[in-house]
Amino acid sequence: MSNEESLDVVQPPLSLQAKIMLCWAAIVLGLFGRFCWNLWQTRRMVARARPVDPHSLPVDWDDLWQRAGLRRPIRLVAGPTLASPAVSGFFQPVVILPQDLLTSVTPKQLAWILLHELAHIRRADILVAAVQKLVQIVYFFNPAAWLANWAVDQLREYACDDEALAATKTSRRDCGEGFLSIVERVSRRRALAGAPLGMFTGKTFVKRRLLRILNHHRRLRPRLTITAVVILLVVAYLFGIAGAILGYSTFAMYLKEGREVLKRSGKSDSD
């Protein structure tokens, strides 16, 4: 038998498992590419944003970031394309404000809004959200990953609301009105441009956040409770076990296919 014929015999068709893995890799690559594109777009928006002088704000910016528990001042910028305030940056975070925000809210409402964004920075939520997204990309086929991220995203907003309430000197009513002003801005922008924003995609979530803000009898929990820590540890453990099982099964599958290829190669050489 010639070398060309033996090579043709050695190359077996892809198994179903291998095709599934190739599809998984292609989808993960596509989702990761979109993730990187969004990061680049955000970085580009921050680079084009106009720096904001903290002294031009109707609130004491230095007092706010210190009350939020931060150890160094945070940079402020203003962007024309934003409907609501946001934070960006893993290691050098920045607060991004809509250009016309200062004219649409009162100083008391602005103080709570900024404290909410500063709470995201103190908690390193940008980095945590990025890790969440990467895990969701890898386990895109698992509904539990999507549900876990959905729950964590909501709990994150609740925690930042509570941190802002605990740090502010503003009444709960003013805080609630400030929150509603942001919701109104986002809804108006989405109606005009069709731009989705994850925080306000559900009316029920908006209503719950508003009721939590206005509830004077509710005990504020700006830090993680023991129950929340236990739940997060259990979820992390379950995802770790799932990842280990998936990794082991993938390794075993490729090991089995490799042995089959070697076995067929040996038979072809003997022929």
Q: Considering the entire predicted model, what is its pTM?
A: 0.77
Q: Is the model's pLDDT at 137 over the cut of 90?
A: yes
Alpha-carbon distances of 150 from 57, 166, 202, 226, 234, rounded to whole Å: 34, 25, 12, 21, 17
Domain segments of the chain: what residues? 11-223
In tens, the pLDDT along 199-238 reads 445 788 888 999 999 988 887 765 655 566 666 666 666 6
Give mean pLDDT, residues 17-36.
89
Give mean pLDDT, residues 9-36.
82
pLDDT of the residue at 42: 87
In tens, the pLDDT along 31-49 reads 999 999 999 988 888 888 8
The secondary element (H helix, E strand) that includes residue 256 is helix 226-270
Q: Is the model's pLDDT at 111 over the cut of 90?
A: yes
